[in-house]
Amino acid sequence: HETLKKHFLLFFELISEYKLVPNAHFEKINTVYRSLTGIPFPYNNAIIGVPDTEDNWDQFISQQLDYFNALKIPFVWYIDEASNLEFKEMLKSYNFKDIGIFQGVIGSLNHSILGPEISNDSKLERVKNEKTLEEFNDLVCATFEINGVSKAMYKKVLWKAMLGNKPMMSHWIARKEGKAVSAVSTLIKDEIVSFWNGATIPEFRRQGYSTALRHLALKDALAKGCHTGISYLMAEGLALGICKKLGYKTNWRFHALVAPINNIMKTSKK
């Protein structure tokens, strides 16, 4: 559980530190973590956790809503499934939308993992230049409906992340007849590898591209000394089946609640 949570926080810390906007930050406030990247897309900005003082919940929620509203930045509030249910209900009373349960899955990497199998007209590769990253970003952003300025800013984050090495982030794509059809990123730190940005064009799903790509990425992680793999998934997402085949098990379940950024001033309880 703690390993999953630590790597989840690591991702937000990583994308915040590139300072896409001057006030970008990752910090602990009370007993929760706040990440501001400046990308105007909810899932790239987050509050994670439940404040410890129940008496001040109203005030704390209002302060965070006002903070993000002033910047016109949307965000998601993540809370453990096992955390205080009253706090989740209070968020909903402020018009946060609970979009469901996410799962953190974890497992030991298998050194006998099969080599990726794909058809002869397909190819798997690591992203190594800006042209290929453009294709990667196009696919990921189309899948998650990241548009406009958010798409351009996300590409900057992906580019900066792949040039760093502490932690190390790599991007991978699968091609069918030259066209990018599947994508995934890996984030490596402390001998642990996590998956991010998993995306496959709808008409190419369930054809083994995502599985093959993850196998290739895991072989790379093993070569870099990793012994544990983790991923974060929607409860019934397609990647859950892939992770189960890899032997991953669910160790953390958490809610994602999207903030009502467009009507905060109406819902904030002062």
Sequence-separated (6 or more) residues with CB below 8 Å from residue 140: 146, 154, 183, 197, 199
Q: Are strands 97-108 and 25-29 parallel, antiparallel or unpaired?
A: unpaired
Please report, for the chain, the start and end positions of each structural domain, with discontinuous segments joined by +: 2-103+254-267, 110-226
How far is the C-alpha of 227 from the C-alpha of 7, rounded, in Å? 14
- Burial zone of 158 (CB within 10 Å; 0-12 exposed, 13-18 middle, 19+ buried): buried
**What is the per-residue pLDDT across 220-262, written as a single tens digit (0 to 9) for each?**
999 999 999 999 987 566 667 778 778 888 889 999 999 997 6
Cβ atoms of 188 and 154 closer than 8 Å = no
The amino acid present at 269, given as its one-letter code, is K
Cβ atoms of 205 and 181 closer than 8 Å = no
Cβ atoms of 7 and 194 closer than 8 Å = yes
pTM (predicted TM-score): 0.89
Task: Name the architecture of domain 110-226.
Answer: 3-Layer(aba) Sandwich (3.40)
Q: Copy the structure tokens of residue 59.
A: 């005030």
pLDDT of residue 18: 84
**What is the per-residue pLDDT across 55-83, written as a single tens digit (0 to 9) for each?**
789 999 999 999 999 999 999 999 999 88
pLDDT of residue 235: 59
Cβ atoms of 254 and 99 closer than 8 Å = no
Rg (CA), the chain: 19
